[in-house]
Homo-oligomer: A and B are copies of this chain.
Amino acid sequence: MCELLGMSANVPTDIRFSFTGLMQRGGRTGPHRDGWGITFYEDQGCRTIKDPAPCCDSPIAKLVQACPIKSRAVIGHIRQANRGPVALKNTHPFTREQWGRFWTFAHNGQLTDYQALQQSGKHLPVGDTDSETAFCWLLNELDRKYPHKPANMQAMFRYLGELCLQLQQFGIVNILLSDGDYLFSFCSNTLHWLTRRAPFGLARLIDEDVAIDFNQETTANDVVTVIATLPLTSNEQWHKMEAGYYLLFKNGECVGDSA
């Protein structure tokens, strides 16, 4: 089991509050001691900060907390290793270029007997995880169907949702995927989300004695969606995603789903 964190926003937004909650689960309030990583998009560019050391006492994680990096799309992950040893190459998120954009992927769950996914294609895994193998399989299948950038992105994401259902044959696949514009989430069994918009209020973390008044941090037009394996705050209404379904976000708004 690992923990996922995703953000989609209509303005560059500081993720530090949510990251603070998540990183406590990286060895302190949770068992995920086997590395962590976070990818921030800035338009089409992205930066990934990752470390195979436990998140809760990583100096690099403390740096992320100290840096006011603002982004419209973020994917974060903390790892409890099951497939593949603890190493930088096995640390999520994973990024590949497809259709001239960087796609970033993180996975919660575990796959078994997934050799069928290790077929040939444009994208090959570098590390040893089931997760990176699944990511490359997804991109290779998308590339086969869409050798060039899809004109209809909604249709592509519907196809991606079908591929995720196929992946479920091999185990649990809670997935976050982004190209910096879209944030795609697929739920096998546990993903929760909420959208913050005006009127903003106070939010209180579950894992750390920290609260934030988003009124002070935002403008009236900000729309920010946060997705996490489990709710990060105690006093807000999180939606549980339905098993076997996907949700698609852009600029903080839900713009597509399995229905």
Q: Which residues of A contact B (CB under 8 A)?
A: 42-51, 59-60, 63, 67, 87-91, 96-97, 99-102, 122-127
Tell me whether A91 and B124 are in contact in the complex, defined as CB-CB below 8 angstroms, given that A60-B67, A63-B63, A97-B96 are known contacts. Answer: no
CA distance A90 to B42 in the complex (A): 11
Least distance between A256 CB and chain B CB atoms (Å): 24
Least distance between A198 CB and chain B CB atoms (Å): 29
Further pairs besides A45-B90, A102-B126: 20, Cβ < 8 Å = A42-B88, A43-B87, A44-B89, A45-B88, A46-B88, A47-B48, A47-B49, A47-B51, A47-B88, A49-B49, A59-B67, A60-B67, A63-B63, A97-B123, A97-B126, A100-B124, A100-B125, A100-B126, A101-B126, A122-B122
Closest 7 CB pairs of A and B: A45-B88, A45-B89, A100-B124, A42-B88, A44-B89, A122-B122, A44-B126
CA distance A54 to B127 in the complex (A): 33
Nearest neighbor of A136 in chain B, beta-carbon distance: B97
A43 pairs with B100, CB closer than 8 A: no
CA distance A51 to B44 in the complex (A): 14
A127 pairs with B88, CB closer than 8 A: no
Contacts of A89 in B (CB 8 A): 42-45
CA distance A51 to B67 in the complex (A): 12
Q: List 26 A-B contacts (CB under 8 A).
A: A42-B88, A42-B89, A43-B88, A43-B89, A44-B89, A45-B89, A45-B90, A45-B91, A45-B126, A45-B127, A46-B88, A47-B48, A47-B49, A47-B51, A47-B88, A48-B48, A49-B49, A63-B63, A96-B97, A97-B123, A97-B124, A97-B126, A99-B124, A100-B124, A100-B125, A100-B126
CA distance A49 to B42 in the complex (A): 14
Least distance between A115 CB and chain B CB atoms (Å): 16
CA distance A104 to B15 in the complex (A): 28
Least distance between A75 CB and chain B CB atoms (Å): 16
Residue of A47, A60, A96 most packed against chain B (CB within 10 A): A47
CA distance A43 to B91 in the complex (A): 13
A42 pairs with B122, CB closer than 8 A: no
A87 pairs with B47, CB closer than 8 A: no
